[in-house]
Structure 1
Amino acid sequence: MWIPIAVAAGGAVLLGVVGGLMTPIGPWYRDLRKPRLQPPNWLFGPAWTIILGLAAWSAVIAWNAATDDATRTRVIILFAVNALFHLLWSPLFFRARRPDWALIEVVFLWASLVALVLGLWPISHSASLLILPYLLWVSFAAWLNSAIVRLNRPFT
């Protein structure tokens, strides 16, 4: 009972911490031209905390709703693929300073979220619905990423 909760919570904390460490807000980022709808920097931390918390909750619900080992394996694969793409975006955008590469990568992150929503639906509607805020936020983030690329290119 507690093991899925601990694993999901630990995964969410790990993603949040690594994402935060890979997101330096320094002069390079501050100097980028950004779209009018760019949220303030302070909003990203609370937004990701809520989103990753909902994703962890979703993982626990899906794990507990799974009726066999094959379904549990599918849940693990869906979340693991998403975690991989989640972890790749910030280093590309902030560390490599390549918003253009991050824009390509965010397509895979977005697709992993669509796969989560669709893949969890037959297992648990609730688990699937808890991923929607994450999907919406990444959709908005992809638009922001695209606008930053458009306003600041070329990147070298």
Structure 2
Amino acid sequence: MNVKYRMPSLPLLFGSIVLSFAAAAAGSLVTITGTGSWFMTELIKPEWQPPNYLFGPVWTVLYFLMGIALAFVLAEGMKRRDVQIATVVFLVQLVLNVLWSYLFFGWHLLGAAAAEIVVLWILIAATMWLFYKIRPVAAYLLIPYLAWVTFATYLTVVIWMLN
């Protein structure tokens, strides 16, 4: 079976990446981890936690890949019901991605952040499944995101338990 996929246009690709980074910007408004911050001074964290400087570059790559993945799905046509559903699930998980930053860093609700990130993980997996059915490469682009959120879920739960 020979399947013909559409390539995303440059405006679609650019818009999808901008949307992804808009979510990153919204979450970064409350993500304060520098010297003297609540995160640095008041939380007990596991010794194996990665250094703070690593999170920014990792998330930059992940948001970039998320935007590209969305563009590949959208390129298949927004008139398709499966594309519409996959897009909505993607957008919901993107909102949950931002919400986690507010729960954890903004409002210091560690237990709520731990519960919410589990739901986020489930929605990322659902997004990947829906994306795979439309455009497999879009799902593959989200593998690093799911892997990182898997690690972040464990880290969030451990920090919650330690505090």
TM-score (norm 1): 0.90
The superposition leaves residues 11-66 of structure 1 with CA deviations (integer Å, 9 ceiling, x where unpaired) of 11111111211201243211311112201111111010000101111111112235
Please give the alpha-carbon distance, in whole angstroms, between the structure 1 residues aligned to 2:37 and 2:65.
Answer: 32
Shift of 1:151: 1.0
Aligned residue number for residue 76 of structure 2: 65
2:72 counterpart of 1:30: no
Shift of the 59–150 alpha-carbon distance from structure 1 to 2, 3 Å rule, reads same
Q: Which runs of 4+ in 1 moved over 2 A?
A: 65-69
Task: Report the equivalent of 1:15.
Answer: 23
1:6 Cα deviation after fit: 2.8
Give the CA deviation at 1:68: 4.3
Gaps of 5+ in 1: none
Name structure 2 gaps, 5 residues minimum.
Answer: 1-8
Asked if the contact 1:38–1:144 (Cα under 8 Å) also holds between the matched residues in 2, the reply is yes
CA distance in 2, matches of 1:63, 1:27: 40
- 2:89 is the alignment partner of 1:81: no
Determine the C-alpha separation between the residues in 2 that align with 1:114 and 1:13.
20
Is 1:128 aligned to 2:147, yes or no?
A: no
Q: TM-score, normalised by structure 2?
A: 0.87
